[in-house]
Amino acid sequence: MIMSSGRTLQVLVVDDDDADTLMIEEALLSAEQPPVISRVADGSEALDYLRRRGAHADAVRPDLILLDLNMPRMGGQEVLREIKNDEELKSIPVVVLTTSDTMVDIAASYTRHANAYVTKPMDLDSFEAAVQQISRFYTDVAVLPG
């Protein structure tokens, strides 16, 4: 996934579910030019990563964040609010990728300035296709900052 600038897309996956994360990674890595994928397992760790704190002092700024909502310690809605209220982070596109299909979660995510909201499909092929479409959009169509 080479962006128009010639660099490889950097994707941060924020998801506590190992099985979902594995499916996301497999879908992303199946691309002709796969992105560099980093993963954190909860919202608190996501903010440490994004702000390069502690164990994540050498973290690379992601070009795209795939964010689950339902996580321990700090949920996705709170992470989304923190990212979009932070002058240094708010330009990073955040795609909410979650099992929730409730209108409350969808509306809250867009109110907090999510760039997209995608409900995780239940079957493997549809799940992989959805992740690949997100990746292709941010690689081949969208122009990203930085």
**Average pLDDT for 80-86:** 97
- Higher per-residue pLDDT: 140 or 23: 23
Q: What is the pLDDT of residue 73?
A: 87
2 — pLDDT class (breaks 50, 70, 90): very low
pLDDT class for 7, splitting at 50, 70, 90? low
Q: Does the pLDDT of residue 142 top 80, yes or no?
A: yes
Q: Does 68 score more than 50 pLDDT? A: yes
The Cα 24–Cα 131 span in angstroms is 6
The domain ranges of the chain are 10-137
Q: What is the pTM of this model?
A: 0.93
| Lowest-pLDDT range of 23-27, 31-35, 95-99, 115-119 | 31-35
- Does position 105 have pLDDT exceeding 60, yes or no? yes
Mean pLDDT, residues 38-67:
96
CATH superfamily entry for domain 10-137: Response regulator (3.40.50.2300)
Q: How confident is the model at residue 81 (pLDDT cuts 50, 70, 90)?
A: very high
pLDDT at 58: 96
Can you tell me the distance from the alpha carbon of 122 to that of 64, in angstroms, rounded to the nearest whole number? 23
